[in-house]
Amino acid sequence: MKGPWVLKPTTAPGVARRLAREAVEQEHETIVAAGGDGTINEVLNGIADAPEGFKRARLAVLPLGTINVFARELKLPLDVRKIWPILQRGKETCLDLGCAEFRNQGRSESRHFIQLAGAGFDARAVELVNWELKKKVGPAAYVVAGLQALGAKQAEIEISTGKQVEAGELILIGNGRLYGGNFPILHKSDLQDGLLDAIVLKKVNWQSLPGHLWDFISGKMYKTGGTTYLQGARFILKSRMRAVLQLEGELVGELPATITVLPKVLRVVVP
């Protein structure tokens, strides 16, 4: 890829989204998200905000975040010094994209995601993360928040494909396979198959936790029959209790939510 390159620092939540939109409008063809999965999510939504943004620009990733799940999904090197040759070659592919419609402070909103959406226990843990602690201890902050979330009554969430209905206290919906690092929980998922994948855990509490951890450690969760597993182009989520929604590890709003796939709309630079 040829220059010129323009470096735009992000200073607060939401800034990366605005900068990405402006970059597309200024005719930059490649928008590099330098950060973690939350930053990537902001950048791809900024590209979407620009008129015909996905046709005009492509996404590249410089993994500088805490876990970098999407970079792992693409098999990008996590050593940023090895990223530059990949950006220079500029090889690209087109990936599916998820789109979530949900409630935020009483208003309807929509947002794209590339890797993962979560509702129920998982999203509640994200809501409880102490961000100062996260800066100090990284992923361990999510463990602390998860233990806090276990102490409260969990919302039961209904998920429907239109043909099949399931319910549970933890719903994970993925475009990619990986969750929380190199863990292929959504083992059937494919970034280019025009489908989203979901797993449903019926109960998440102190009693069920040892079993879930054993399934996770033994790899059973990654296999057919290990959990309730759904595939579809559209999922509808709802709950009688307040239940929150996270995208790429960032809290975005509350249920009800409708989550759909947009087949092969995102251009991405790959190894």
Annotate 100-116 with b (16+ C-beta within 10 A) or e (fewer).
bebbeeeeeebbbbbbb
For the chain, domain boundaries: 15-95, 98-264
Q: Which residues contact 136 (CB under 8 A, 6 or more apart)?
A: none
261 touches 39 (CB < 8 A): no
Give the mean pLDDT of the chain.
89
Reported as a single tens digit per residue, the pLDDT across 193-223 is 999 999 999 888 767 776 767 777 766 676 6
CATH class of 15-95: alpha beta
- Tokens 């099949």 correspond to what residue? 164
- As a dihedral over the C-alpha atoms of residue 186, residue 246, residue 74, residue 133, rounded to 10 degrees, the angle is -110
Q: Which own/partner contact pairs does 160-163 have at CB distance under 8 Å and 24+ positions apart?
A: 160/235, 160/236, 161/230, 161/231, 161/232, 161/234, 161/235, 162/232, 162/234, 162/236, 163/232
Antiparallel, parallel or unpaired: β 58-63 and 30-35: parallel
> Which CATH architecture fits 98-264?
Sandwich (2.60)
Reported as a single tens digit per residue, the pLDDT across 172-181 is 999 999 988 8
Q: Which residues contact 145 (CB under 8 A, 6 or more apart)?
A: 125, 126, 127, 128, 129, 130
Reported as a single tens digit per residue, the pLDDT across 137-166 is 766 776 777 677 777 788 899 999 999 999
Longest pairwise C-alpha distance within the chain: 57
End-to-end CA distance of the chain: give it in Å, rounded.
14
129 pLDDT above the threshold of 80: no
In order, the DSSP letters of 136-167 are HHTTHHHHHHHHHHHTSPPPPEEEE-SS-EEE
Q: How far apart are CA 20 and CA 32, in angstroms?
A: 9
Q: How far apart are CA 36 and CA 39, in angstroms?
A: 5
Reported as a single tens digit per residue, the pLDDT across 74-123 is 999 998 889 989 988 889 999 999 999 999 998 999 999 999 999 998 88
Antiparallel, parallel or unpaired: β 58-63 and 165-168: unpaired
Q: How far apart are CA 53 and CA 41, in angstroms?
A: 14
Q: How far apart are CA 164 and CA 122, in angstroms?
A: 22
pLDDT the model gives residue 72 = 95
